[in-house]
Amino acid sequence: MERAAKRGDALSQLNLAARLATGDDVKRDLKRAVFWYRKAAVQKEPDAIYNLGLMQMFGEGHPADVPRGLRMLERAARLGSPDAQQLFGEVLMAGLYGLKRDPERAACYYLRSLADGYPRAAMLLAAALEGRGKIGRAHLINALNRVAAEGVRAAQPTPSG
């Protein structure tokens, strides 16, 4: 795995970083985990960006920087990490870490994760719809329209030229 990571394989870099971060069959080394997560993140590997964002927020392997970590979580969510979509949705729904509460954006992230087949997003969306400070009908309709429009744009063929 380390050989493939050194050759630049983003998935190998992600897996090696995860093993180093958790100490799974290797000596736990958070600084090396950050190094390999960064290598994979440069290649836009969403789960590497998500994990690196969490480490940044909580000061694991380098100094804590919550705003930077949140930006990384949002980037990972936009790139399609279901874990990032769900967590960033929760942050937006509750207005955590100094971010403004934004139920519509939260619903968008939950819906994207749900569309990718992650059922936990359905539970989060359902809780947000019925809970205190819930997502209103208008927010949900706007979020559905935004996610649907993004899906249509993504499905359209790009012009060759």
Domain tally, the chain: 2
Of 17, 70, 69, the closest CA to residue 43 belongs to: 17
Q: Where does the pLDDT of residue 134 fall: very low under 50, low under 70, confident under 90, or very high at 90 and above?
A: low
* Same structural domain, 60 and 86: no
Q: Mean pLDDT score of the chain, rounded to an integer?
A: 87
pTM of the model: 0.82
Are 87 and 155 found together in one domain? yes
> Would you say 52 and 37 are in contact if contact means Cβ atoms under 8 Å apart?
yes
Residues 68 and 91 in one domain: no
Locate 158 and state its tokens. Answer: 């790009």
Q: Are residues 104 and 57 in the same domain?
A: no
Residues 159 and 94 in one domain: yes
Q: How far apart are CA 129 and CA 54, in angstroms?
A: 27
User: Tokens standing for 144?
Assistant: 């559905």
Q: In angstroms, how far apart are the furthest CA atoms of the chain? A: 51
Residues 54 and 10 in one domain: yes
Same domain, 18 and 55: yes
Average pLDDT over residues 118-133: 78
Host domain of residue 102: 81-161
